[in-house]
Amino acid sequence: MPLGTILSLSNYVVALVLSIIIEVSIAYVMGYRQKKYLLTIMMINFITNPILNYFLLVLSFMKFNINLLLLGFLEIGVILVEWGLLVYTFHKPQDRLFLLSFITNTVSSLVGIMIFWI
């Protein structure tokens, strides 16, 4: 699918499920193995993933050029929001939670680009 193509509803569900699987798996590998961490990461994704995809859908309807640069800026926003939610929830060292948010979102974004846009 080319950049900017509107995804079907089933693709949005697949994107959400893949994001959750990828991000929870990476968090587990990074040492966040307690149930409270994994469930929190899952719940945060239930918030941020649909909002991001809805925003992309609205921009697409408005005939805005959806490209990798725009997606990169939006993902930076997602990284910062998820980082803030993790810090607010766990009160842990901010640098470590930022690294978690950065790595999980970068990997899930790249996988999403490879699956849905290339």
What is the tens place of the pLDDT at every residue in 13-72? 899 999 999 999 999 999 999 999 999 999 999 999 999 999 998 998 899 888 999 999
Place of tokens 């699987």: 21
pLDDT tens-place string over residues 84-98: 999 999 998 899 999
In the chain, the amino acid numbered 110 is L
Do the Cβ atoms of 112 and 15 come closer than 8 Å? yes
Whole-prediction pTM value? 0.88
